[in-house]
Amino acid sequence: MSGNNQLGVLKALDVAKTQLYHFTAIIIAGMGFFTDAYDLFSIALVTKLLGRIYYHKVGAEKPGTLPPEVAAAVNGVALCGTLMGQLFFGWLGDKLGRKKVYGITLIMMVVCSVASGLSFGNNSKGVMTTLCLFRFWLGVGIGGDYPLSATIMSEYANKKTRGGFIAAVFAMQGFGILAGGIVALVLSSIFDYQFPSPIYSVDPYASTVPQADYLWRIILMIGALPAAMTYYWRMKMPETARYTALVSRNIKLAAQDMSKVLQVDLKADKEIAENKATDPKLNYGLFSKEFLKRHGLPLLGTTSTWFLLDIAFYSQSLFEKDIFSAIGWIPKAATMNAMHEVYKIARAQTLISLFSTIPGYWFTVLFIDIMGRFAIQIMGFFFMTVFMFALALPYDHWIKPDNRIGFIIIFSLTFFFANFGPNVTTFVVPAEIFPARLRSTCHGISAAAGKAGAIVGAFGFLYAAQSKDKNKTDAGYPPGIGVKNSLIMLGVINFVGMLMTFLVPESKGKSLEELSGENVNDETASSKASLSRRN
């Protein structure tokens, strides 16, 4: 079907000039991702502190740490919740509409961010149980934000700059991670000034002041603020014209809504009745034969590439502690008090955000509508593969003290090209290539596959990367295959991700209806819209 058979109101969206409302939508949707990143990554800033407070052992040479099963639960429960939220709210966004569901996810994030800082009881079991409970539901709300924000931005944008707009929403994650680091830096400095304490090796008990129990709670609860500030504006956003026109089949309302927000006059000559019969070829369901014929391979491509990318992306936590120690960012725990340790970890996260994470995101924003999604994703996976093998094959060379700087540079480049590459494009493409009535669902499925990969990367490789020598493993962990072999596996995973990218169609410069096959034919096109610029 040709682009000439596209509904007028949708064609007007595709050719509309970039204007203030596009940037307003980026901020409104992007603040959700700002909050998502703050909430997901802030837990890494306080896990060491939680270990000192709740798992201190009298007479131990080192500060207390979270047991492996507790650490896995605290860090992983939000990822599990995110996976469920992506599937459920993705489906709900297609059934009820993007706007109706959009506010629900934000309320969940606000309530659960605050509740994460509360506790049932003051012992370790009660605190960890409460934290895990509310972080799971926080994850569900965060998960819902993925398909809804991507779909809403996709359906509002013009086709010329759509990729950059969707990528900009996702890139707000970088600022969320940065904000988490800055908040922890400021608060830990204030607490350290107000409640000075000796380092652990001098006085193990006094090195963690009682007020430290407030610090981690405040850091987590602050995550509710940006979400709460955004709620009003999310509720003011109208339903997207594509959902109203193609799913609700109300062309007149779609034209009215877009006239208000895009500052153009859109007049529908006739309104398609809500229950008007449609072309059965365009009314197929999810996973029907027609869907699999049209979209089966692209869906396999978006799910598999996101799954493989997140295995590699989330496995970076395995090597961060070695890198931070090598360059002196994080001294040995016994040489710091509790506040110093939070400060050092936050400083490391802040520096990584500034010089690696954020630049990679915004390189993609700048170039995605020039280079295209396919080229950026292939390039990203290719360089991630090259750099992983460059770390793995001469690993014994890199671990020598004189060679650690080279390891750090290659490691940083690996994740620069993850962000200037598949970490962004895997988010963008599923919001573009599927039909409007299934778009949010398919994005949710793709994102959930990514979070399954994140769970594998964050926890599967945490065990796999343990030393083969049981005497050299981290406390509580069984022997694994070692860091070198783990890096080789990750290199292979990135290479497979590059191959699976060939299943994903290029969407640069094309309308959503052209990509999904939803351009209406002459029998069903009972409405034409005329566009005139307001005076």
How confident is the model over 27-51, as pLDDT tens digits? Answer: 988 988 999 899 988 998 999 999 9
Report the range out of 24-38, 75-89, 347-361 with the highest average pLDDT.
75-89
The whole-angstrom separation of Cα 529 and Cα 535 is 18
The CATH number of residue 158's host domain is 1.20.1250.20
* Structure tokens, 504: 């994903």
Residue 516: per-residue pLDDT? 87
For residue 45, the one-letter residue type is L
**What is the distance, to the nearest Å, from the Cα of residue 397 to the centroid of all Cα atoms in its chain?**
34
Residue at 114 is within a domain:
yes
| The residue to which tokens 């999310």 are assigned | 234
Q: Which helix (H) or strand (E) holds 268?
A: strand 264-268
The whole-angstrom separation of Cα 438 and Cα 95 is 9
271: exposed, middle or buried (C-beta count within 10 Å: 0-12, 13-18, 19+)? middle
Residue 531 phi/psi, 5-degree rounding, is: -115, 130
Q: Is 473 left (phi over 0), alpha (psi -120 to 50) or beta?
A: beta
122: exposed, middle or buried (C-beta count within 10 Å: 0-12, 13-18, 19+)? exposed
Residue 504: per-residue pLDDT? 96
Residue 22: per-residue pLDDT? 84
Among 204-208, 255-259, 480-484, which is the least confidently predicted range?
A: 255-259
Give the dihedral sign, CA 463/349/77/209: positive
What is the SS3 assignment for 291-307? HHHHHHHHHHHHHHHHH
User: Domain residues for 120?
Assistant: 20-265+286-518
Given a cut of 50, is residue 277 above it in pLDDT?
A: no
Residue 327: per-residue pLDDT? 62
* Structure tokens, 173: 């994650």
Residue at 533 is within a domain:
no
Residue 76: per-residue pLDDT? 87
Residue at 531 is within a domain:
no
Residue at 9 is within a domain:
no
Given a cut of 80, is residue 443 above it in pLDDT?
A: yes
Residue 133: per-residue pLDDT? 94
Among 132-141, 388-397, 429-438, 486-495, which is the least confidently predicted range?
A: 388-397
Average pLDDT over residues 226-238: 87
Residue 495: per-residue pLDDT? 97
Rounded to the nearest 5 percent, the helix, strand and coil shares of the chain are 75, 0, 25
What is the SS3 assignment for 60-81? CCCCCCCCHHHHHHHHHHHHHH
Given a cut of 90, is residue 219 above it in pLDDT?
A: yes
What percent of the chain lies above the pLDDT cut of 70?
89
The model's pLDDT over 383-402, given as tens digits with 9 standing for 90+, comes to 999 999 998 888 888 877 77
The whole-angstrom separation of Cα 420 and Cα 380 is 6
Residue 458: per-residue pLDDT? 82
Instruction: Pick the closest to residue 45 from 173, 206, 224, 178 (CA basis).
Output: 178
Instruction: Pick the closest to residue 370 from 414, 412, 420 (CA basis).
Output: 420
Report the range out of 181-185, 401-405, 409-413 with the highest average pLDDT.
181-185
CA angle 402, 405, 406 (to 5 degrees): 100
Band (pLDDT 50/70/90 cuts) for residue 524 is: very low
Band (pLDDT 50/70/90 cuts) for residue 300 is: very high
Q: Is the pTM of this model over 0.85?
A: yes
When divided into structural domains, the chain yields a total of 1
Instruction: Pick the closest to residue 177 from 331, 40, 380, 315 (CA basis).
Output: 40
The whole-angstrom separation of Cα 420 and Cα 363 is 6
* Structure tokens, 335: 């040489």
Given a cut of 50, is residue 415 above it in pLDDT?
A: yes
Given a cut of 90, is residue 3 above it in pLDDT?
A: no
The whole-angstrom separation of Cα 37 and Cα 227 is 12
Given a cut of 80, is residue 88 above it in pLDDT?
A: yes
Q: Is 263 left (phi over 0), alpha (psi -120 to 50) or beta?
A: left
Q: Residue 469 carries which DSSP code?
A: S
Average pLDDT over residues 144-156: 94
Residue at 526 is within a domain:
no
Residue 326: per-residue pLDDT? 58
Spatial contact of 327 and 347, defined as CB atoms under 8 Å apart? no
* Structure tokens, 300: 């396999």
Rg (C-alpha) for the chain, rounded Å, is: 24
Residue 317: per-residue pLDDT? 63
Given a cut of 50, is residue 413 above it in pLDDT?
A: yes
Residue 487: per-residue pLDDT? 87
* Structure tokens, 368: 């995605």
Given a cut of 80, is residue 471 above it in pLDDT?
A: no
Average pLDDT over residues 193-216: 94
The whole-angstrom separation of Cα 224 and Cα 114 is 6
Residue at 535 is within a domain:
no
Residue at 15 is within a domain:
no
Residue at 353 is within a domain:
yes
| The residue to which tokens 């309302």 are assigned | 253
Contacts for 526 with CB less than 8 Å, ≥ 6 apart = 270, 272, 276
Spatial contact of 459 and 72, defined as CB atoms under 8 Å apart? yes
What percent of the chain lies above the pLDDT cut of 90?
53
Q: Which helix (H) or strand (E) holds 98?
A: helix 98-115
Instruction: Pick the closest to residue 425 from 372, 474, 470, 463 (CA basis).
Output: 372
CA angle 211, 215, 221 (to 5 degrees): 135
Instruction: Pick the closest to residue 282 from 271, 274, 293 (CA basis).
Output: 293
Count CA within 13 A, CB hemisphere, residue 105.
Answer: 34
For residue 447, the one-letter residue type is A
Q: Which helix (H) or strand (E) holds 530?
A: strand 529-533
